[in-house]
Amino acid sequence: MPATSANLGPAFDCAGLALTLHDVVEFAVADSGLTVEVSGVGAGELPTDERHLVVRAFRAACERLGWTPPGLCVRAENAIPQGRGMGSSAAAVVAGVVGAFELCPDVDVRDDGAVLRLADELEGHPDNVAACLLGGATLSWTTPEGARADRLPVSEDVVPVVLVPEATLSTHTARTLLPDLVPHADAAFNAARAALLVHALTAEPAMLLEATDDRLHQRQRAAAMPDTIALVDRLRTAGHAAVVSGAGPSVLVLARRHPDDVPGDAAAVREVSGITPDGWRVYPLEVDHGGARVVRVTPGVSSS
Ligand SMILES: Nc1ncnc2c1ncn2[C@@H]1O[C@H](COP(=O)(O)OP(=O)(O)OP(=O)(O)O)[C@@H](O)[C@H]1O
Ligand SMILES: N[C@@H](CCO)C(=O)O
Does residue 91 have a known ligand-binding role? yes
Cα–Cα distance list, 240 to 24, 60, 147, 174, 259 (Å):
32, 41, 32, 24, 17
Residues in the chain: 304
Same structural domain for residues 105 and 184?
A: no
Rg, the chain, Cα only: 19
Same structural domain for residues 294 and 255?
A: no
Alpha-carbon span 276 to 158, nearest angstrom: 19
Same structural domain for residues 115 and 168?
A: no
**Confidence check: pLDDT of 298 > 90:** no
Same structural domain for residues 189 and 211?
A: yes
Same structural domain for residues 133 and 245?
A: no
**Which pLDDT score is estimated for 259?**
86
**Distance between Cα 123 and ligand 2 center (Å):** 10
**Distance between Cα 6 and ligand 2 center (Å):** 6
| Site residues for ligand 1, CB cut-off 6 Å | 6, 23, 42, 46, 52-54, 76, 78, 82-90, 92, 128, 170-171, 246-247
Same structural domain for residues 12 and 128?
A: yes
What is the amino acid identity at position 122? L
How does the average pLDDT of the chain come out, rounded? Answer: 96
Q: Where are the alpha helices (DSSP H) in 35-160?
A: 53-65, 88-103, 112-123, 127-134
Same structural domain for residues 13 and 142?
A: yes
Same structural domain for residues 276 and 296?
A: no
**Which pLDDT score is estimated for 265?**
83
Q: Check if the beta carbon of residue 165 is closer than 8 Å to that of residue 227.
A: yes
Of 5, 7, 17, 214, the one to substitute when testing ligand 2's pocket (max ligand atoms within 8 A of C-beta) is 7
- What percentage of residues in the chain have a pLDDT greater than 70? 98
Among residues 106, 124, 57, 59, which one has the least CA distance to residue 292?
57
**Which pLDDT score is estimated for 300?**
52
In degrees and rounded to multiples of 5, residue 12 shows phi and psi of -60, 125
The pLDDT tens digits for 133-143 are 999 999 999 99
Q: How much is the ipTM here?
A: 0.98
Of 4, 12, 50, 82, the one to substitute when testing ligand 1's pocket (max ligand atoms within 8 A of C-beta) is 82
CATH code of the domain in which 254 resides: 3.30.70.890
Same structural domain for residues 130 and 231?
A: no
**Confidence check: pLDDT of 302 > 70:** no
**Confidence class for position 266, pLDDT limits 50, 70, 90:** confident
CATH code of the domain in which 101 resides: 3.30.230.10
Ligand 1 atom closest to Cα of residue 52 = 4
Does residue 175 have a known ligand-binding role? no
Domain that holds residue 7: 2-151+290-303
**Distance between Cα 51 and ligand 1 center (Å):** 13
**Confidence check: pLDDT of 297 > 60:** yes
**Confidence check: pLDDT of 304 > 70:** no
Ligand 1 atom closest to Cα of residue 246 = 26
Alpha-carbon span 187 to 210, nearest angstrom: 16
Same structural domain for residues 183 and 129?
A: no
Same structural domain for residues 261 and 198?
A: yes
Does residue 85 have a known ligand-binding role? yes
The predicted model gives 78-83 an average pLDDT of: 98
Among residues 57, 15, 70, 4, which one has the least CA distance to residue 216?
15
Same structural domain for residues 41 and 136?
A: yes
**Distance between Cα 89 and ligand 2 center (Å):** 11
**Nearest residue by C-alpha to atom 5 in ligand 2:** 246
Q: Check if the beta carbon of residue 282 is closer than 8 Å to that of residue 276.
A: yes
- Report how many domains make up the chain: 2
The predicted model gives 181-206 an average pLDDT of: 98
Of 88, 175, 251, the one to substitute when testing ligand 2's pocket (max ligand atoms within 8 A of C-beta) is 175
